[in-house]
């Protein structure tokens, strides 16, 4: 016990002090020490988070909270010290590092030790509540006691399976409502998290946590919000066309009394717990029946893919571009399957636990098309880690957080029917316009359907964190934004105690979400640029960069920059452009949008 205590004390790290009247060399030395300290602290925290996520217990939650508290304490002190350097003329790298330090905390802690400890405890508790979430139904069977009823509890995967299958309206409603009960008890904890994190943000010079989050994009918070609106405006017409067509098909299936032909869509009927991606309703909305099968899941199962083989397939795409294979430790340390003996966070994620090429993914892989795509997405993160891990730790990040999410998704744009046929996962490549429209519909149900959801999540948090929305209105505002952006509504009145935002992982886990919206924009912009580098001719949707080393070299050049330069520099390195641009999406889906407009003639679109 004494040895453990001594070791714990030795791991304590104190932020360096900035001397009075600092000079440029003082700033440089400060940054160097912070990089050394943060690598040590972030490795401890990341290790504790990995253990907590793959083995959820009260002890692992407490351990992770303790490690995160140390990081919070250090960053709060280091950021406050760094403010003393604001008038010092520094070189570009030092200036970049100081900027990234200031915006590095998604959850800034107050300087007060008790409040900092409480914030770390709340963060760990909220994510643990999500990971352990189950719905046990109603004990309404005569003669069955509560203990017996708990044998029938269902977790997120099991409840999501009900929505995926798209069976009876009532079964989908029960599964949707069941999952949304798991977040009710999160609300008072989340209110405290908002209060304490806002206090922490104010102590480092921001009005609130919302302002800090929006400041991390090499522009002012106000300008960044305008930028997201500009990008959404570019793609909204395509989403509106898709929404109108899907609504017509859902109304046919379930009846106009359950799905209004002119109103918003009920949230539980789109094959996904959050109605964020709609690919599971593809069989219902398939434009042309009888075309060559696009059932990748059937191909995977026919070839007897298991979890590891599926990940190997994702790795093979990256190595075909000239990138290195994943390290041996990746295969030894990753979680590919859901363990049967303990609770884990199944939400897919990618890690470099030690910030030193200790690459891993954490998934509960199912052999289906969604997981096939998710594997490529997560490996995109790992290949980013692999290419920048030798940089100072403050530069070990995406050029902006949207870049990190976009890499793997840009690769999935090259998973064309031709590529799938070469793998033997589908039998035929669609050869006419009907086949093309089917392919694009399937992709749009994932990529385009997601865009408004990606845009609204952080709008909700910006409004909550800024104080614009009070706790009593958390749930109402959530649904107001979902209706405004997505044209989605809950399937019925929500209980007074509902906290539906908490039923989405990124809210209790405090993961900023704007990265996912930006990634859906950037992936097509990256794809267009990589196709140009590969010398691809013809429509953008037909391009696959698989096996092209020229495209791989361009990708690698951008990945290796990490966050060492402003994101516009990194964007220019891969695309030649300095502004994020959604026109590549419109180019890519031009055939589908023209077809949707014809199908929607005579319909009252919008909601």
Whether 286 sits among the annotated catalytic residues: the reply is: no
d(CA 82, CA 87): 11
Whether 404 sits among the annotated catalytic residues: the reply is: no
User: Which residue in the list 29, 195, 347, 370 is annotated as catalytic?
Assistant: 347
Sign of torsion, CA 108 111 112 117? positive
What letters, b where the CB count within 10 A reaches 16 and e where it falls short, cover 262-301?
ebbbbbbbbbbbbbbbbbbbbebbbbeeebbebbbbebbe
Helices (H), 493-564: 514-533, 549-559
d(CA 527, CA 245): 27
Whether 121 sits among the annotated catalytic residues: the reply is: no
User: Which residue in the list 506, 568, 572, 590 is annotated as catalytic?
Assistant: 506
d(CA 355, CA 117): 25
For residue 44, the number of C-alpha atoms closer than 13 Å in the C-beta half-sphere is 20
Spatial CA neighbour of 39 closest among 557, 397, 567, 506: 397
Return the residue matching tokens 């199912």: 366
Angle at 178 between CA 167 and CA 162, to 5 degrees: 25
User: Which residue in the list 277, 315, 378, 443 is annotated as catalytic?
Assistant: 378
Q: Using an 8 Å Cβ cutoff, are 231 and 521 in contact?
A: yes
User: Which residue in the list 180, 376, 377, 541 is annotated as catalytic?
Assistant: 377
For residue 84, the number of C-alpha atoms closer than 13 Å in the C-beta half-sphere is 16
Strand 349-352 relative to strand 359-362: parallel, antiparallel, unpaired? antiparallel
Residues in contact with 581: Cβ distance below 8 Å, sequence separation at least 6, in sequence order:
234, 521, 525
Whether 347 sits among the annotated catalytic residues: the reply is: yes
Whether 405 sits among the annotated catalytic residues: the reply is: yes
Whether 506 sits among the annotated catalytic residues: the reply is: yes
**Quick one: 195 exposed, middle or buried, by C-beta within 10 A (0-12, 13-18, 19+)?**
middle
Q: Using an 8 Å Cβ cutoff, are 505 and 346 in contact?
A: no
User: Which residue in the list 348, 480, 568, 590 is annotated as catalytic?
Assistant: 348
d(CA 421, CA 253): 32
User: Which residue in the list 243, 268, 376, 381 is annotated as catalytic?
Assistant: 381
User: Which residue in the list 49, 225, 369, 405 is annotated as catalytic?
Assistant: 405
Residues paired with 135 in a beta bridge:
154
Whether 49 sits among the annotated catalytic residues: the reply is: no
User: Which residue in the list 485, 513, 516, 546 is annotated as catalytic?
Assistant: 516
Whether 516 sits among the annotated catalytic residues: the reply is: yes
Residues with catalytic function: 347-348, 377-378, 381, 405, 506, 516
């Amino acid at each position: 016990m004494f040895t453990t205590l001594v070791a714990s004390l030795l791991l304590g790290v104190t932020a360096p002090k900035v001397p009075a009247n600092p000079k440029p060399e003082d700033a440089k030395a400060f940054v160097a020490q912070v990089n050394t300290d943060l690598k040590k602290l972030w490795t401890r925290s990341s290790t504790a988070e990995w253990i907590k996520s793959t083995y959820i217990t009260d002890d692992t939650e407490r351990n992770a909270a303790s490690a995160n508290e140390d990081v919070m304490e250090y960053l709060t002190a280091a950021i406050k010290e760094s403010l003393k350097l604001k008038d010092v003329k520094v070189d570009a790298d030092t200036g970049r590092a100081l900027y990234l330090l200031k915006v590095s905390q998604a959850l800034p802690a107050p300087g007060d030790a008790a409040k900092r400890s409480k914030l770390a405890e709340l963060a760990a508790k909220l994510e643990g509540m999500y990971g352990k979430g189950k719905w046990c139904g109603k004990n309404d069977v005569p003669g069955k006691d509560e203990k017996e009823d708990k044998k029938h509890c269902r977790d997120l995967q099991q409840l999501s399976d009900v929505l995926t299958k798209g069976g009876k309206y009532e079964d989908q409603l029960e599964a949707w409502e069941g999952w949304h009960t798991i977040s009710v008890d999160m609300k008072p904890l989340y209110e405290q998290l908002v209060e304490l994190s806002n206090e922490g943000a104010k102590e480092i010079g921001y009005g609130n946590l919302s302002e800090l989050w929006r400041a991390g994009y090499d522009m002012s918070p106000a300008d960044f919000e305008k930028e997201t609106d500009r990008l959404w405006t570019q793609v909204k017409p395509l989403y509106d066309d898709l929404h109108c067509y899907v609504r017509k098909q859902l109304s046919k299936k379930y009846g106009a009394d359950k799905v209004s032909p002119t109103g918003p869509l009920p949230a539980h009927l789109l094959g996904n717990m959050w109605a964020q991606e709609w690919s599971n309703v593809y069989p219902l909305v398939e434009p042309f029946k009888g075309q060559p099968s696009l059932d990748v899941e059937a191909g995977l199962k026919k070839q007897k893919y298991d979890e590891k083989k599926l990940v190997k397939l994702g790795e093979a795409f990256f190595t075909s571009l000239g990138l290195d294979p994943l390290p041996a430790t990746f295969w030894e340390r990753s979680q590919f399957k859901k363990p049967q003996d303990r609770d884990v966070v199944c939400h897919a994620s990618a890690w470099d636990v030690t910030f030193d090429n200790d690459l891993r993914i954490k998934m509960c892989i199912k052999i289906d098309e969604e997981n096939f795509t998710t594997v490529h997405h997560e490996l995109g993160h790992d290949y980013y880690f692999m290419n920048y891990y030798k940089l100072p730790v403050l530069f070990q990040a995406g050029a902006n957080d949207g870049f990190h999410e976009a890499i793997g998704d840009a690769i999935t744009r090259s998973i064309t029917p031709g590529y799938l046929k070469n793998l033997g996962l589908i039998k035929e490549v669609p050869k006419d316009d009907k086949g093309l429209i089917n392919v694009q519909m399937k992709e749009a149900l994932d990529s385009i359907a997601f865009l408004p959801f990606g845009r609204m999540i952080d709008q909700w948090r910006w409004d909550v964190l800024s104080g614009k929305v009070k706790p009593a209105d958390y749930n109402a505002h959530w649904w107001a934004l979902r209706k405004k952006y997505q044209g989605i509504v809950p399937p019925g009145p929500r209980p007074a105690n509902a906290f539906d935002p908490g039923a989405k992982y990124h809210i209790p886990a405090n993961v900023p979400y704007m990265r996912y919206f930006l990634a859906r924009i950037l992936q097509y912009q990256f794809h267009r640029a990589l196709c140009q580098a590969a010398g691809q001719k013809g429509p953008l949707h037909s391009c696959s960069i698989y096996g092209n080393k020229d495209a791989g070299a361009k990708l690698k050049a951008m990945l290796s920059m990490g966050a060492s330069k402003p994101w516009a520099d990194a964007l220019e390195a891969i695309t030649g452009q300095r502004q994020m641009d959604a026109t590549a999406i419109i180019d890519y889906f031009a055939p589908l949008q023209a077809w949707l407009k014809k199908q929607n003639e005579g319909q009252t679109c919008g909601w």
